[in-house]
Chains A and B, each alone.
Chain A
Amino acid sequence: MLSVNVEKRLGTLNLSVRFEAAGGATALFGSSGAGKTSVVNMIAGLLTPDRGSIALDDTVLFDVGAGINVRPHQRRIGYVFQEGRLFPHLSVRQNLDYGRRMSGRTPDVSEFARIVALLDIGPLLDRRPRMLSGGERQRVAVGRALLMRPRLLLLDEPLASLGVGHKREILPYLIRLRDDAAVPMVYVSHTAAELRRIATTVVRLDAGRVVASGGIELLDETDSDAIG
């Protein structure tokens, strides 16, 4: 269970967001500039709220009153960025292995193989990120985040930088991930059609506020831009 209750002033936007997310895929839905990315950055610890608290299960990650602010590297929250952000100087295999190395765990061959198979990235392991297509890059980014054994997975518009074909290519993997990996997800998107396929709960943001939250029927109230 993730509970978020944060306030932050960002330029002209007064962000004040409060929501809770259980298992499954929680969609943060809203137009550009609604503050979706800022919210996930705060959950990851990359952006510090002015006020409020963030807790994941029984761990307080951030609490202004108690003076708690767990550093990003200690949060164990996987983050799939819009642009992938694979490390260009490392091979795909080394990218995937990065989180495990940083945590000092011994290699787990079967876990590695399972996630490589889940995302179909076996043939890419010895390539450099720049030799990958956009869709392949995002699949590796998802694998990299999963292999750090996250308690929560954040996906910030993971399909936004992809063409229509690659969107079609990657969505089934994300759905498989939601159903098989048993890691709760927070999924940011401004595309209703995409969320309709992946989300189990929806939190709708507008101009830095939560305007609605509930099931995926919330997505029907808006004009959905098709993703093909």
Chain B
Amino acid sequence: MLNLSSAEWTAIELSLRIAIVATACALPFGIAVGWLLARKNFWGRAVLDGIVHLPLVLPPVVTGYLLLVSFGRKGPIGAFLDQHFGLVFSFRWTGAALACGVMGFPLLVRPIRLALEAIDRRLEDAAATLGANHLWVFLTITLPLALPGMIAGAVLCFARALGEFGATITFVSNIPGETQTISAAIYTFIQVPGGDAAAARLVVIAIILALAALVASEWLARRAAIRFHGE
């Protein structure tokens, strides 16, 4: 039915890889920030909350530009990571993953934070009286009870990463085989004469992927509910 060219397959494979890496790398940070916002009162809490939500309200091109000046080869963070860890973001697929992770981050943090706020803290007290220190309480009580929120956040972040366009193209451009995701490829195909059919095929793929992510999240959330709440 869909006869995809190798360039189109490459864009699909790249999109999935970028979205998965972006979500997986953002998740630990998302849990940490969600926990800080849900549990801790500290100076600068409102500022942190604001920064986390910025990518949601800023024009994506602005986020992309900010990533370029800070994580580009000559940017302060980019130069540091390049020199010390050999990690290069500019014009690489890793940069696209970074942009997608940043754009998806507010969507990731919010459900995790809500899930952590909803946990009955008295269960954590009970675990402490049974001999669990802070770390074990977090690992055996807090984290499992927040799992449905983490799944919801990860799926939203993944979906956002899959569709990200503005920040990615600003930060790492639109290089076939390296940073050209499905969105960027659709954009490119629409620009060239006779590219309509290829664009349409990728649009269908984008819809299928989005639906699959939604179905998968429903299934995972239900499984987690059964596993952890016995429903």
Contact = CB atoms under 8 A, between A and B. Distances in A.
Interface in B57-100: none
Nearest to B229: A88
Given A85-B122, A89-B229, A131-B230, A77 B129 contact: yes
Interface stretch (B109-117, B131-139, B156-164, B176-184): B131-139
Nearest to B136: A102
A88 B125 contact: no
B127 interface: yes
Contacts of A197: none
Given A85-B123, A89-B145, A78 B229 contact: no
Q: Is the interface of A mostly helix, strand, loop or mixed?
A: mixed
Interface stretch (A68-76, A161-169, A212-220): A68-76
Interface in A40-85: 44-46, 71-79, 81, 83, 85
The range of chain B's interface size is 20 to 34
Interface string B187-231: 000000000000000000000000000000000000000011111
A201 to B, nearest CB: 23
A195 B227 CA distance: 39
B127 A44 contact: no
Could you say which interface size class chain A belongs to?
Answer: 20 to 34
A144 interface: yes
A148 B230 contact: no
14 contacts: A46-B129, A72-B128, A75-B129, A76-B131, A85-B120, A85-B122, A88-B228, A88-B229, A88-B230, A89-B145, A98-B140, A128-B229, A129-B230, A130-B231
Given A45-B128, A73-B128, 8 more contacts: A45-B129, A85-B122, A85-B126, A87-B126, A89-B228, A89-B229, A98-B130, A102-B132
Interface of B: 120, 122-123, 125-133, 136, 140-141, 144-145, 227-231
Interface of A: 44-46, 71-79, 81, 83, 85, 87-89, 98-99, 102-103, 128-131, 144-145, 148
